[in-house]
Amino acid sequence: MLSSNNFKHYTLLILGFCLSISCFSQHPYKRTLKLMGSRFDITVVADNEEKGQAYIDTAVAEITRIEKLISSWDPNSQTSEINRNAGIKPVKVDAELFELIERAIGISRLTDGAFDISYASMDKIWKFDGSMTTMPEAKDIKASVDKVGYKNILLNKELSTVFLKLEGMKIGFGAIGKGYAADKTKAFLISKGVPSGIINASGDMNTWGKQPNGEEWKVAITNPMDKSKSYGLLPITDGAVVTSGNYEKFVEFNGKRYTHIIDPRSGMPSSGIISVTVFAPKAELADALATSVFVMGKDVGLSRINQFPKIECIIIDEKGQVFTSDNIKIQKL
C-alpha cells in the first residue's frame, strides 16, 4: 500500500491548451501550490482573471477542509481520534468521513484486501532510502501485518461510529485521500458554476468540461523508462485518471526488485510492475485501484479491472512492456 507520503509520479501531461485563445471568451487560469503535503495544480476556465482566481481560492479552501477531516497526521482530526481509540471505544464521526471509510472497505472487498486503509499500522521494516542492505527476516515481515485488516474496522451506520477492533490499529488515507480531495473539489467548483477545469493532485487527476477551444482535455501516457517519450494520447471527458509509479523507490536483493508499494496482506513489496494508470469516473476509485493493481499483479489486476464497468487500465512492467484492459482506446503518437 502507499503511505501518506507516497510517490505519485508525474507521468501525465496535460496537452492541447489553445496557444492563442484571444478569440475565445473564456480562458484557463492555473495555480500550483502545496496542499495535503503534495503538489496540486488547479486549473479553471473562466471569462476573466478575477473570477478565475476566486474559483481557485474556493478550491484551496475545500481541499484544506478535507485535509483537516481525514489527515492522520493532524492530532485534531477525526481520523486521529479514531486511531487513538483503537481497541478502546467507537468514535462518532461526520457522515462524510463515515461514508469515505465505508467506500474504502468496499474497495477492499472488491480487491480481496489488496487495498486496505488499515495499512497505516504496519511497521516500517522496509526502507527505500538506500539504507537497506539485507532482506528483512520472515518473522518481522509477518509481524508487520498483525494489526492490518479491513475486517477489523467496525462501522455502526445508525450511530455513525467507527471502531478499530485491535489496539494499535490505525487507518490512513494516503492511497485515496488526494483522489477524494480532487473529486470533492471538482464537484464543489461545478456547483459554483465553473464550466471546465482540472484538479491534478500529484498525479491524481480529475477533469470536467472542455478546453476553451472546444476540444476535450487529453493526457499523454509517458514511458517511465524514457520520460521523453509517450505511448499515446487519451481524451478525458468528465472523468479521472491516476498514475502510480514505483520506478524511483525500490530495493534489489538477489537480482529482484522490491518496490515501496506493499501488499497489506503479506507485508511484502509488490514486484514486476513499474507503472499503473487507471481511468475511472472518480479519482478516489482510480487512486485505490491503481494501488491495488500493483499489489495484485498484471494478470489478476487486468482481469479484475475488466470486470468493472467504465474503468480502464494501462500497465507497464519492469521490462517496459505495455498491457491494457480490454476496452481502452489509445491514440498512438
Res. 251 pLDDT band, cuts 50 70 90: confident
The larger pLDDT score, comparing residue 24 to residue 320, is at 320
Amino acid making up residue 98: F
pLDDT grade, residue 109 (50/70/90)?
very high
Number of domains in the chain: 1
Which CATH number do you get for residue 119? 3.10.520.10
CA atoms within 13 A on the CB side of 169: 27
CA–CA separation, 291 vs 242, rounded Å? Answer: 10
| Mean of the per-residue pLDDT values of the chain | 87
Q: What's the one-letter identity of residue 46?
A: A
Task: Please give the residue range of the domain that contains residue 269.
Answer: 1-333
Residue 231 is inside which H or E element, if any?
Answer: strand 226-236
Q: What is the pLDDT of residues 122-152, one digit of tens each?
A: 877 888 888 888 888 889 888 889 999 999 9
C-alpha cell at 226: 524514457
pLDDT score recorded for residue 7: 41
The secondary structure of 176-212 as a DSSP string is THHHHHHHHHHHHHHHTT--SEEEEETTEEEEES--T
The Cα–Cα gap between 233 and 332 comes to 6
pTM for the whole thing?
A: 0.87
